[in-house]
Amino acid sequence: MFWRWIRTVILLPFNVLVIIPAVILYFSDYSLKKQNAFCMITGMFLLIVGLFLAGWTMRLFVKIGKGTAAPWDPPKKLVVAGPYCYVRNPMITSVLTMLIAESLLLGSWHIFGWFIAFFLGNTIYFPFFEEKDLEKRFGEDYLQYKCNVPPWIPRLTAWKQE
């Protein structure tokens, strides 16, 4: 299970958070400059929150779902615990949070542009592809979940499956 998880992390979030930003910075002639205290503190806070949320959601996928976030090794059971009780896509939310953190810590509007592109891409991908697959695999359970839990902006209270 450990190697399945590592492969997923390396191929998916690592590319989004490290490889693509590095390429963007390389081609934008980026040079590291000192950031103001607000950007540094906010960026570090968001990075810690994003890392915590990513670890939590991945752990739930392995422990409860018996799978990973990778399309080639999806969860066998619908995960509706922890942050999934508040928002349908907390794993992507964690990556988006870390992209904003990167943008602040590095002082890069180009990375912020990548954040927007990544968010828009997922906003299109989820309803047309991933949600259709989840409806097919988990049926009525997923449809009920989808009706009660928003995709991006968390609920104020945890949703309890009936």
Range(s) of the domain holding residue 41: 2-148
Separation between Cα atoms, residue 52 and residue 109, nearest integer Å: 25
Kindly state whether residue 110 falls inside one of the protein's structural domains. Answer: yes
Kindly state whether residue 103 falls inside one of the protein's structural domains. Answer: yes
Give this prediction's pTM.
Answer: 0.89
Looking at the structure of the chain, the number of domains it has is 1
Q: In the predicted model, is pLDDT for residue 9 greater than 90?
A: no
Kindly state whether residue 161 falls inside one of the protein's structural domains. Answer: no
Q: In the predicted model, is pLDDT for residue 57 greater than 60?
A: yes
| Percent with pLDDT over 70 in the chain | 93
What CATH number does residue 20 fall under? 1.20.120.1630
- Structure confidence at residue 20 (pLDDT): 96
- Structure confidence at residue 162 (pLDDT): 72
Q: In the predicted model, is pLDDT for residue 97 greater than 90?
A: yes
Kindly state whether residue 24 falls inside one of the protein's structural domains. Answer: yes
Separation between Cα atoms, residue 84 and residue 148, nearest integer Å: 11
Kindly state whether residue 14 falls inside one of the protein's structural domains. Answer: yes
Kindly state whether residue 66 falls inside one of the protein's structural domains. Answer: yes
Kindly state whether residue 157 falls inside one of the protein's structural domains. Answer: no
Extended beta strands in 9-161, E state: none
| Residue 3 banded pLDDT, cuts 50, 70, 90 | low
* Burial track 3-23 (b if 16+ CB lie within 10 A, e otherwise): eebeebbeebbeebbeebbee
Are 96 and 115 in contact, with CB atoms under 8 Å apart? yes
